[in-house]
């Protein structure tokens, strides 16, 4: 996908030299990609924009660590995910601890309507408690193992598994009650 801009190496070289024009080109070229990732984790557009800005700041200050022999997108993705997780951790330490609710399991999904929009999916993900949303994104979207999730978030493997299970149950409940996909 990086073949869209055949000059990515040139842009990265310019960023290594702190050239504002190159930084701007990189930001413009990858903003939508970065925003999509940040938006999934943050559940709020304004905070996702902050994560994207923080991520690009890290990219520009750490660009010397990027080795040109690898694709840029996975390196950028890792920075965005880590920045989002750092933001979630910081916010969780400021929130009072609350008991996680147990969600009713409505059964298995039989079918999902094709007319479910991206906005509806994001709205459902936004309603997940932050711990559930984070584990769901790491496991389902970014394909992290429970061991990797536990290590990344500083939680136990059992908590990772539990949060993923509860996120799935919660999403099933939302689909059933709000979109009437079930009998």
Residue 156 belongs to domain with CATH number: 1.10.10.10
Helix locations, 43-111, DSSP H? 45-62, 72-94
Range(s) of the domain holding residue 66: 2-94
Distance CA 64, CA 62 (A): 5
- Tell me: the pLDDT tens digits for 67-112? 877 899 999 999 999 999 999 888 765 444 333 444 434 443 334 4
Residues of the chain below pLDDT 50: 1-5, 94-113, 182-183
> In this predicted structure, what is the pLDDT of residue 85?
92
DSSP letter at 64 equals G
> In this predicted structure, what is the pLDDT of residue 179?
64
By residue count, the chain amounts to: 183
Residues 26 and 88 in one domain: yes
Provide the number of structural domains found in the chain: 2
CB contact at 8 A, 136 and 146: no
> In this predicted structure, what is the pLDDT of residue 181?
53
Per 3-state DSSP, the chain is made up of helix, strand and coil in percentages (nearest 5) of 70, 0, 30
Residues 20 and 83 in one domain: yes
CA dihedral 111, 116, 120, 126 (to 10 degrees): 40
Residues 62 and 10 in one domain: yes
> In this predicted structure, what is the pLDDT of residue 180?
62
Position 111 in a domain: no
Helix axes 146-153, 72-94, angle to 10 degrees: 60
Q: How far is CA 42 from CA 21, 65, 164, in A?
A: 29, 26, 17
Q: What average pLDDT is seen over the chain?
A: 82
> In this predicted structure, what is the pLDDT of residue 47?
93
Residues 122 and 90 in one domain: no
Residues 76 and 159 in one domain: no
């Amino acid at each position: 996908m990086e073949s869209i801009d055949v000059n990515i190496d040139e842009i990265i070289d310019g960023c290594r030299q702190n050239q504002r024009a190159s930084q701007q080109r990189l930001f413009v070229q990858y903003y939508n990609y970065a925003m999509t990732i940040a938006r999934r984790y943050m559940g709020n557009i304004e905070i996702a924009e902050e994560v994207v800005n923080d991520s690009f700041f890290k990219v520009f200050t750490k660009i010397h660590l990027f080795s040109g022999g690898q694709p840029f997108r996975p390196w950028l993705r890792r920075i965005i995910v880590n920045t989002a997780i750092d933001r979630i951790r910081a916010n969780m330490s400021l929130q009072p601890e609350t008991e996680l609710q147990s969600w009713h399991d409505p059964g298995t999904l039989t079918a999902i309507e094709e007319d479910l929009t991206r906005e509806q999916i994001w709205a459902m993900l936004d309603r997940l408690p932050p711990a559930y949303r984070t584990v769901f994104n790491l496991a389902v979207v970014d394909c992290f193992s429970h061991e990797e999730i536990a290590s990344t978030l500083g939680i136990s493997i059992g908590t990772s598994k539990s949060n993923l299970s509860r996120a799935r149950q919660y999403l099933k409940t939302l689909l059933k009650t709000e979109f009437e996909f079930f009998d």
